[in-house]
Every structure is written in C-alpha cells, then in structure tokens.
Structure 1
Amino acid sequence: MKGHTQETLVKHQQHLQRQRDVVAYRMKKLAAKQVDFTKKTNALKEKIKKKYEDMKRVLDEDLRITLTQLDMEYQATECTIEDRIERCYHLSQELDQEIAQLSTQMEKEETDDKDAETERRIAETMKATDPELLQVDEFKNEQLLSLTINLLLFIRSQVPVTKKLFQSYASDVVLDPTTAHPKLIISPKGDLVEYTDTWQEVPENPSRFDTTLNAISRQGFREGRHYWEVQVSGKTYWEIGLTYPSIPRKGREEDCWLGRGDESWAMEFFNGDYTAWHDRVAHALPVVAGQHFTRIGIYSSFPGGLVCFLGADTMTPLHCFYVATFTNVLHQAVCPGHDNQGSNWKPLKICDASRSAPTL
C-alpha cells in the first residue's frame, strides 16, 4: 500500500511538472505576442507620424507663400489705416477746438438733450456687443476642414511636376524569359522577376545569361524618350539599367554584370548603398545613403544621349550618365540579386510608369 502511494505521488509530481512546463511555454508565447504587439504598434505609430510629416512638408511651403501674400496685403492695408487714423486725429483736434468755443454758449435744455443722446448710444452699443451674439459657425468650419483635405489631396496629385512629364514618356516593358538566367523566374506577363535557389529546366540558347542573374526586355528602342519604373521595396540587393544587345551573356561573370562593360548602364543597391555603374567605373552615391526608395525610375533620351536614374517615390535624381550618342538599340535590364543571406527573396516588379504609385 505504501509503495502504491509512493508511485501515485511520483506520477502526480510528474503530471504537475508537465503542467508547469505547459504554463511556462504559455508564458513564453504570451511574451512573444507582447513583443509582436509592441512592434506592430510602434510600426503603426511610425507610419502615422510619417504621414503627418509628409503633410507638414507639403503644407509648409504653401503656408509660406500664402503668408507672404497676406503680409503684402496687410502692409498695404496698414498704410491705409494709418492714413485714416491721422485724418481722424486732425479732425478730432478741430472738433475739440469748436467744442471749447461753443461750451460757454450751450443752454441747459441743449445739455439735457445731449445727455439723453449719450444714454441712447450707450444702450445701442451694449446691445450690439452682447457676447451671446457671437456664435461659432460649425458648418463653415466643417467646410473649411473638407476644403483643406481636398487641397492636400490635390497637391499630392500634382507634385512633383516632373512626375507628370516623365509619365508622358512611359514605356511598356516586357521581360524576355529566353534571356533570363536559369535561377530566375519570369511571370507570364513578363512584368515580374524573382530569384530561386533551384536551377530551372529551361532551353539553352545564345541569348540566355548563364553566369549573372540578369534578364532583359523583349523589345528595344533606338529613338525617342523613354521612362520606366521598377518596384524594389523590401529588397536588399538589386541591379537595374539599360543595355545594348551586345552585352556578354556567357563567360566571365564580371563581363556580364550590368554596368561593368561599355554596353550597359546600371544602378546597384546592396545593403543600403547605392552605386551607379558604367564601363567598370563605380559612382558611389552617399547623398542618398540611408534612403530606401520603393520605386526606381529610369529615364533615357536618345536625342539627349542621357540615362538618368531617379528615386521615383519623390522623383529624386540619383545619378545621370551623359552618353552623347547611343550606338545601338537599348533594352531594359534587371537583376533581382541572390538571396543575400535570406534577406532578398522579394521579386522585382515592372510598374505602370504612366500612373503614380498608390499612397501607402
């Protein structure tokens, strides 16, 4: 009986230990949930704060212009008022002199009449200045707020003005899967490219890159002005640019990289650093260090011999190449980069550059 009791106690102890482990695991999960909530809340607060900062930047410039115009009007009005005050002052002095001359000639009944007139004026003034007559126009305030919101939305849709210009040069870009490295997957529409660790079973052909993770567009162009955009948000490594069809597709890896030869021009982003490349010459861009654009725009002008990279979110110029004369057809080129230790799995997406990116 005693042995049986001892065994029961041991089992019960083991059961309680298991339950304690379950409770400890629950506490761990709750703590993790708390951390998750904190992160999400802080992220939301930062997003909201950024929206307010964005609104402030837009309105500050409009406020400065508006206040300057109001100051000009105020100064003109101030001069007018000072002139009227001076005229009234001179008139009051003249009236004081007349009153002094007439005061000795006034009759008693005339004085009574003047006292009655003064009482009437006081009563009228008290009635006209009753504080209860002053009411807030709630409808007007609501309308003013609505107009202010509409103004902000309108301003957002109109700036920067260069966006409107570049949108008029927007080009359709369709990536050619027959050029893509076997570790790249091109979407059916040709507007998205992503890296995979798996070597795809794809036909070998002379146009396919086999040493660098590149793909180029189906169609090229040899005249006019062209603008296109690529969504790069959430990535830590990518290369985007323009290339002649003569760029090496096989052989030494360095020769095939975008911007390393004289056949291509590229913008590279790697772990927070932006670099422009052409003919093996690197142009570091410390001016944009720390910035993370969600879209990169590429503008090219055959007449101007220009290749320009922009942070399309704000149309911030990043780097321009002055080519003078293009000697061949230009194709759009992209490299989504390798996985970069698990931080770079998101795809590159070709955007509709004729439309502004949605506000997030």
Structure 2
Amino acid sequence: MSYEYARMSLDPLRRSLDTPSLTFGNGDDDQIPSLQATAGKYLLLRLSKSYGCSPTLNAASSLPRLQIYKDLRTVKVMRSSQTVSNESQAQVLGSESFLTETGRRYWEVDVSNCGRCCVGVAYETMPHNGVGKECWLGQNSMSWCLEKDGDTIKVLHGGVELFKREKSLGFNKVGIFLDCKARLLSFYCLGTRELLHSFRHHFSRPLVPAFGLWYSESNNNYLSIVELK
C-alpha cells in the first residue's frame, strides 16, 4: 500500500466532512497502513455519531420470496419457486428516501450471513420487480451498489464493475455514507476500516437504501441493517 493510495482513499470523505486536519505528511510509506487505519477509525466513528441512521425496509417493495422480519431491518431470501431461478436477484428497498436537503446519512449493514448479496442505493423509481438483470441492483443507471459473492467484493453501477477484490476474507459489515449535496456515495469495509470505493454523481432524484439477495443452499441467506445508537 503506497502513501499516495492511502491519501487518495481518504480525501473524498475528508473534503465532504470539511476536516482539513486529516491530512498526511510526507512520512515513511511503512507508516501508511497504521495511519490509514487510525484515520479510518476516526472517520467511521464520526460518521456513525454525527450522521448515523438505521433505515427500515419497505415490505411493500420486496419480492414474494423475501422474508422481512418484524424489526424491518432484517431480510432473508427463501428458495424460489420453479418459475423463478435461484440465480436471480431478489430486491427490497428502504422506507426512507434521501434528498439533497436531507443532508448526510451513514448506515451499516451486516452481510456475514449471506453468501451473495448487494447493498447500496437506488432511485426510488427503479424497476425492481422483474427477474431480468436490468432490474438488478448495480446493473442499471438507477442504482449503485457493493456486491459480496463469497470472498469476492465488487462495486457496480450501470452494469460496469468499478472495483473488485478477491479473497476478501472476513468481510462481514459494510458502511455506506451518502452526501447528496456533495454528490458523494462511499462504501467502507468496517473490518479493515478502509474506503473501498467512492462515487461522485449528481443524484437527480430521491434515493433509497437498496438491498439484493441470492439464494444459496450453503448459507443462512439473510442480511441485517445495523441499529446505530
């Protein structure tokens, strides 16, 4: 990991949060991993305390093979019927919508019990009741997501893979930071406290948290929105 990589990975969020004190000097590259971890810990703590929220799921937006728990923060995908392939993504959207006027929002999702799933945001008008890939999160121009598939993680938008990391062991929780006014969407790995990818985009319509799951025989097949206090 280089000094330049560590600096660039933190710059988008630092600028959004107006924290000029979080800068790197011209120190030894050997110190960069610890510097990045320390800065990442500080930033994630600040995000959680200042902008943390715990979105709920909109049960009316889910497909029949998704089971929404009573807490409205946990969703499980069930084995599909013969008419729908288990290879298709099942989506559910959040209840709260975010606008430029909403301000900054940060939430976390526990994906440790899902073999394959994706989390992110979508325009609330995104078609998501179909089974074709054009309705999948990250596969159209109306959604931005991070996908976990076993030990591989990807960031997707418009069907384009913008980030990929294989053998990402221990990837159990993802942090999502949204600042519509600053046109910023960031995904964080909470285990390593690092920024995985940031989008700079002019979000022209209301956004909602979005979640997609695939069924697997070998996994518990559910994810949970973390309740931040």
TM-score (norm 2): 0.74
Structure-2 separation of matches of 1:334 and 1:251: 15
Q: Structure 1 residues 189, 292: closer, same or farther in 2, change over 3 A?
A: same
Tell me by how many angstroms 1:269 deviates: 1.1
Residue-by-residue CA offset, 1:155-206 (whole Å, 9 max, x unaligned): xxx971112211111123010111111110001121100011266xxxxxxx
Q: Quote the Cα distance in structure 1 between the aligned partners of 2:191 and 2:150.
A: 19
Q: Identify the match of residue 219 of structure 1 among 89, 96, 106.
A: 96
In 1, Cα distance between equivalents of 2:197 and 2:40: 21
Q: CA deviation at 1:313?
A: 2.6
Give distance in 1, aligned partners of 2:40 and 2:99: 30
Match of 1:312 in 2: 190
Q: Write the distance in 1 (CA, Å) between the matches of 2:170 and 2:96.
A: 29
Preserved contact between residue 129 and residue 135 of structure 2 (Cα < 8 Å): yes
Q: Counterpart amino acid of 1:227?
A: Y
Q: Alpha carbons of 1:198 and 1:248: their partners in 2 closer, same or farther (altered >3 Å)?
A: closer
The verdict on how the C-alpha distance between 1:275 and 1:248 changes in structure 2, with shifts beyond 3 A counting, is same
1:76-225 matches, within 5 Å, as 160-167=41-48, 168-197=50-79, 212-223=89-100, 224-225=103-104
Matches of 2:200 and 2:143, distance apart in 1: 13
For 1:192 and 1:250, the matched residues in 2 are separated by 19
- The runs of 4+ residues in structure 1 deviating greater than 4 Å are none
Q: Which ranges of structure 2 fall in alignment gaps of 5 or more residues?
A: 1-38, 82-87
Distance apart, 1:337 and its partner CA: 1.7
Which amino acid counterpart does residue 143 of structure 2 have in structure 1? S
Q: TM-score, normalised by structure 1?
A: 0.48
| Secondary structure of 2:51 counterpart | coil
What is the DSSP-based 3-state SS (H/G/I as helix, E as strand, rest coil) of the residue aligned with 1:175?
coil
Q: How does 1:1-360 map to 2 (within 5 A)?
A: 160-167=41-48, 168-197=50-79, 212-223=89-100, 224-251=103-130, 253-286=132-165, 289-323=167-201, 325-339=202-216, 342-354=217-229
Shift of 1:300: 0.8
Distance 1:252 1:184, change over 3 A: closer
CA distance in 2, matches of 1:305, 1:257: 23
Please give the alpha-carbon distance, in whole angstroms, between the structure 2 residues aligned to 1:293 and 1:254.
Answer: 25
Cα gap change, 1:295 to 1:252, in 2 (>3 Å): closer
- Does structure 2 retain, via aligned residues, the 8 Å contact 1:191–1:350? yes
Q: What is the percentage of aligned positions where both structures have the same residue?
A: 25
Cα RMSD of the aligned pairs, angstroms, is 2.3
Q: Is the 8 A contact 2:137 2:144 kept in 1?
A: yes
AA aligned to 2:110 is Q
Distance 1:321 1:289, change over 3 A: farther
Residues 42-65 of structure 1, C-alpha deviations (whole Å, 9 max, x = no match): xxxxxxxxxxxxxxxxxxxxxxxx
Aligned-partner residue type, residue 214 of structure 1 = Q
Instruction: Give the counterpart letter for 1:311 in structure 2.
Output: C
Q: Which has the higher helix share?
A: 1
Matched residues, number: 184
Unpaired runs of at least 5, structure 1: 1-157, 200-210, 355-360
**Counterpart-to-counterpart distance in 1, 2:40 and 2:228:** 15
Structure richer in strand, relative to its length: 2
Letter in 1 for 2:200: Y
